[in-house]
Amino acid sequence: SCMGHPHLKTPRIDRLAEEGALFRNHFCTTSLCSPSRASILGGLYAHTHGVVNNFTDYPRDLPTFPRQLQAEGYSTAYIGKWHMGEDDDSKRPGFDHFVTHRGQGKYFDTEFRTNNGKREVVPGYYTTVVTDMAIDWMAEQQEDDAPFLLMLGHKAPHSFYFPEPKYENTFDGVRVPYPASAFSLEDKPVWIQQRLNTWHGIYGPLFDWRKKFPDRSARAMLDFERMVRAYWGTILSVDDSVGRIYDYLQAAGKLDNTLFIFTSDNGLLEGEHGMVDKRTGHDPSLHIPLVVRYPSLIEAGKVVDAQTLTLDFASTILEICQAPALPKTQGKSWKKLVSSGDEDWRTSWYYEYNYEKQFP
């Protein structure tokens, strides 16, 4: 893959990188779903926007880049996992079309709240279902040819991991040992060593893949392998989704006039430092993908090594769309960075997470 994974092949995401830019040092500022999503919307750190856990909704009085674009005449849609305000799936400000669900949703047969306010179970695999919804909505926009913003929020590759049936056995032949860093913790803080037997450690339940725990036996590594393979499998369906969106835009004649962004809200530890999940300030937890295609601004095959953040999306998107900037932001537009370079770009930034009692 374009990110250098030894086993995962993501040809559709790779195509975006080949025709656009690969950001090799892109990071989230809080590696947790809700805080990071809030930072994407408003360009603020978690301690500023106030969404510091997975149960707090985005404050309705805080501006967002979708609200700015909506005010400028864009048709706006959010489809998929919202996950800010755990049990609240009501329509949010800034979106003409809003389809989501409570909490995490499920990989199969999720109950969605449709744009008319009704809840209904939509049969099928989540990644495919929301991609269908996204393409249907974009097709409706062709009728008036107004500019549009679509945010498509996948559940995958979030735990618990259930790949699409066609990808269930794709990685069965790949051995996945515990990383070497899982056994180099003697000089690490006690709380890191203690995590190994917990929900977030390699000897814990592994998101229900291991029924009896803690388990430090050699055989227990098979549970770890099964978990990681399933995680990889869910990503293959996301790659399919990227390809379907690309193909639709191309067929509609809109591809080259669309700012196409592929990214994530957080990274994931796959056993590094003895941990699974995210949350901590380790590189696999906060280092996330960013691939952008927009040929009128970005030359094909560009590689960006500067440090970019989730905080930067709001400023960047609004500048590229020539919309008014947000009244307050802690991010920075990378429009100049990708087009001609930016000598004043950041060399440092702040990572924060303080949600669980186990952390100091």
Q: DSSP states of 73-87 as a string?
A: T-EEEEEE---SSTT
What confidence score (pLDDT) does residue 85 get?
Answer: 82
Helical residues (DSSP H) of the chain, grouped into ranges: 11-19, 33-42, 46-49, 65-71, 126-141, 190-194, 221-251, 283-286, 312-320, 335-339
What confidence score (pLDDT) does residue 86 get?
Answer: 78
**Tens of each residue's pLDDT in the chain, 360 residues:** 899 999 999 999 999 999 999 999 999 999 999 999 999 999 999 999 999 998 899 999 999 999 999 999 999 999 999 989 878 899 999 999 999 999 989 999 999 999 999 999 999 999 999 999 999 999 999 777 789 999 999 999 999 999 999 999 999 999 999 999 999 999 998 888 888 998 899 999 998 889 899 999 999 999 999 999 999 999 999 999 999 999 999 999 999 999 999 999 999 999 999 999 999 999 999 999 999 999 999 999 999 999 999 999 999 999 999 999 999 999 999 999 999 999 999 999 999 997 666 654
Backbone angles phi, psi at 320, to 5 degrees: -65, -35
Task: Output 65-68 pairs: Cβ under 8 A, ≥24 positions apart.
Answer: 65/41, 65/313, 65/314, 65/317, 65/318, 65/323, 65/326, 66/41, 66/94, 66/95, 66/149, 66/151, 67/93, 67/94, 68/318, 68/323, 68/324, 68/326
